[in-house]
């Protein structure tokens, strides 16, 4: 079964009502690849604004979700609140939350379990630091992160994996096409060995890390790269070119 090309846009902590309306207008008017699944993740404050104005066919993701159903958790958003608002995706485990906000593999895994079991699909992120890359530990780090989430979830059908080398996020540095493909292949091999052939074959693995309109087409050609999780470029017109990279 062919895996459907997937492009996520992570706005991070960027945007205003005016600028986000402009991005949404651009996406609504663009000719997008009908065979690509597109999900955009504005800051939480603008989730409903985007959901209200975005055309059918493009979905909306939160940039985080909490692993408790409700209660005294100031600043957090629950799975049921996302569902109630028509938000059916969340990004979890992004390196900025792991490194800046201290989220452990286990915390990310717990959030992933609660989200997927509650009906919110997850773009689950993994990746290594420059120090880990230079020490030859890339695959070890990614496999450790995979093992943590695999211990918590039994059903992978609502999980999309995003491999994001930390050293390539927002730096302008991009893993070479071969470096990216090699890690994606290693992730698929791990899924095959530790989960199932079916999950390994069907799970989409995205590349993230300074993806732009110039490098996306070559990356999209790789056997195990099923799309992208895009940061800064998702705020720019070239995001349309990235969505259409697999045409």
Query: Is 184 a residue of the active site?
Result: no
All residues at 6 or more sequence positions from 178 whose CB lies less than 8 Å from its CB, including other chains: none
Are 124 and 89 in contact by the 8 Å Cβ rule? The answer is no
Q: Dihedrals φ, ψ of 189, to 5°?
A: -65, -40
Number of residues written out for the chain:
247
Locus of tokens 């060995």: 193
Query: Is 164 a residue of the active site?
Result: yes
Active-site residue identified among 37, 94, 103, 132: 94
Indicate the burial class of 31 (C-beta count within 10 angstroms; 0-12, 13-18, 19 or more).
Answer: exposed
Active-site residue identified among 128, 132, 143, 164: 164
Locus of tokens 């792991």: 98
C-alpha distances (whole Å) from 242 to each of 27, 38, 245 are: 12, 11, 5
Which residues are annotated as catalytic? 94, 164
């Amino acid at each position: 079964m062919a895996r459907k090309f997937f492009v996520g846009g992570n706005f991070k902590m960027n945007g205003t009502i005016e600028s986000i309306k402009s991005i949404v207008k651009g996406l609504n008017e663009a000719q997008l690849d009908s065979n690509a699944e597109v999900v955009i993740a504005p800051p939480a404050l603008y989730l409903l604004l985007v959901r209200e104005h975005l055309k059918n066919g493009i979905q909306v993701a939160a940039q985080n979700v909490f692993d408790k159903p409700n209660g005294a958790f100031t600043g957090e958003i629950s799975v049921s609140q996302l569902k109630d608002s028509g938000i059916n995706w969340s990004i979890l485990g992004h390196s900025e939350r792991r490194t800046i906000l201290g989220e452990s593999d286990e915390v990310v895994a717990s959030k992933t379990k609660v989200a997927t079991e509650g009906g919110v699909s997850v773009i689950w992120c993994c990746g290594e630091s420059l120090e880990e890359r230079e020490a030859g530990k890339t695959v070890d780090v990614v496999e450790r992160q995979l093992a943590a989430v695999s211990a918590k979830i039994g059903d992978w059908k609502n999980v999309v994996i995003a491999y994001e080398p930390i050293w390539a996020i927002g730096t302008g540095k991009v893993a070479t096409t071969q470096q990216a493909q090699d890690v994606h292949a290693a992730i698929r091999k791990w899924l095959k060995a530790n989960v199932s052939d079916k999950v390994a074959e069907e799970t989409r693995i995205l590349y993230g890390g300074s993806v732009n309109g110039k490098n996306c087409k070559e990356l999209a050609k790789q056997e195990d790269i099923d799309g992208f999780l895009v940061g800064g470029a998702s705020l720019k017109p070239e995001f349309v070119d990235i969505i259409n990279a697999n045409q």
